[in-house]
Amino acid sequence: MLEKFFRRQTQKTEPPKGPQPMAAEVTYDPGLIAALTQQHRDLTVLLVKASSASQQGSYEDVKEALAAFKTALAEHLKRESTQLHPYLTAHLKGEDSREVLKDMRTNYIRVEQSVEGFLNHYGGYPVSDVNAERFEMEIEGVSEEFCEEIEKEEASFYTLYMPPESY
């Protein structure tokens, strides 16, 4: 009797045979670009908040702003990678489309890596009187680079996101 029970259990956990259903196509969301752009503004505000807090000697506020930035950036990048990128991959056509998609992914990775190193460093070595001056110089550079990348993203990649009938 136990043998039948275990045999039935393994049969239930086996993957279904035959063709698998295709993943659902990412649909057009008319509010996506506005939401992503607002996230860019919110992220920029968090960097400014961290810099201002450091200048005022409010190091706990710096820590909180950087933690909020890290969380918000992860959410933003996830939304881009699950909604924007797959949609554009499915709908962009033409000889330059592969190059545009490659540039978009490269931009995504560049932003993620440059900010990640900065956040990891100050997550392990929180801002204090000892390193505040260095932090302020570094956050200025990170903020500048981040703003340049999001300007590029908004000016080129976000403009490609249109209703399906527009392609």
Measure Cα distances from 105 to 81, 85, 160, 163 in Å: 9, 8, 14, 21
**What does the angle CA 155 – CA 160 – CA 164 come to, to the nearest 5 degrees?**
155
The contacts found for 68-72 with CB under 8 angstroms, 24 or more apart, are 69/43, 69/115, 69/119, 70/119, 70/123, 72/39, 72/42, 72/43, 72/46
- 66 near 74, Cβ under 8 Å? no
pLDDT attached to residue 57: 97
pLDDT digits (tens, 9 = 90+) for 48-102: 999 999 999 999 999 999 999 999 999 999 999 999 999 999 998 888 888 888 8
pLDDT at 3 over 60: no
Alpha-helical regions (H) of 31-94: 32-55, 59-79, 85-91
For residue 107, with 0-12 CB atoms within 10 Å meaning exposed, 13-18 middle and 19 or more buried, which class applies? middle
pLDDT attached to residue 147: 93
Question: Could you tell me the residue ranges of all domains in the chain?
Answer: 31-166
Quick one: what percent of the chain has pLDDT higher than 70? 86
pLDDT at 29 over 60: yes
CA pair distance 143, 150, nearest whole angstrom: 10
pTM: 0.80
DSSP-based three-state secondary structure for 163 = coil
Q: What are the helix and strand counts (H, E) for the chain?
A: 6, 0
pLDDT attached to residue 24: 59
